Amino acid sequence: MSNFKEFIKSFISAECKGWKKTELIGLVVVFAVIFINAYIVKDGIIAVISAVCGILYSAIAGKGKISCYFFGLMGTGCYSWLSFENALWGNLILYMCYYLPMQVAGIFAWKNHLKTDTREIIKKQLTQKQRIVYSLIAIIACSTAVLAIKYLKGSSPFFDGITSVLSVFGMYFTVKRCIEQWFVWMIVNGLSSLMWLNLVLHGAKTYSTFIMWCVYFFLAVYFYFQWKKEIDAQTV
């Protein structure tokens, strides 16, 4: 029992290192906005839990800490239910068949590439050739997904198709610890914000989910520059 307590204590200590005051204050403000909004507009409880877990996952992943995947698993379950309720079939398939197993895979993948002092992952970037190849594959896959979801009469084929396909690449780059994930997440999060705004305007009680995607977008921009600074320092 004592060994288990020591493990938990050291784990929590490592996960708490490296956070800036502004980052923590920002998270507190965001959660306050979500909870106040949920109370005022009577937002669904699943949407609130999904937003909280999703933002924690994104923020902790940006810091390169392995605990992000525990919140990712919880958020995946909640978001899958919201996608099912709102006929976002692309997002539903993505989260249940891809995100769920990839969250588990991410835990083991990151575990083997942690810095000994900060317990954060070692970041890297793709080569120029890899970027071109992945971009071409993404364009073809997005076009196919949009047509398929349109055929299935999904509620938002354009947004649903593109965000679903690019999320596959984003999650893959996340597990691989590549900075390019943040470019992908900027596009996914921006389009997802518009998709959920459209659903909110048409009566869906998922205001927290809309706020969540907006926060995701700003986190992607923020962590891109944080990772770039670290990778540039590693190169030097």
Residues 48-84 pLDDT 10s: 898 899 899 999 999 999 989 999 999 999 989 988 8
Q: What is the pTM of this model?
A: 0.81
> How wide is the angle at C-alpha 142 spanned by C-alphas 140 and 143, nearest 5°?
65
- 178 has which bridge partners? 124
Instruction: Say which residues have a Cβ less than 8 Å from residue 186's Cβ, sequence separation at least 6.
Output: 217, 220, 221, 224
Per-residue pLDDT tens over the stretch 160-218: 889 889 989 999 999 999 999 999 999 999 998 988 888 888 877 778 888 888 999 99
Token pair of 50 as six digits: 């999904």
User: Which residues neighbour 189 within 8 Å (Cβ) at sequence distance 6 or greater?
Assistant: 213, 214, 216, 217, 220
pLDDT at 4 over 50: no
State residue 7's pLDDT score.
45
Query: Over 60: is that where the pLDDT of 33 sits?
Result: yes
| pLDDT for residue 88 | 79
pLDDT of residue 124: 93
**Tens digits of residue pLDDT in 94-148:** 888 888 899 999 999 998 888 877 778 999 999 999 999 999 999 999 999 999 9
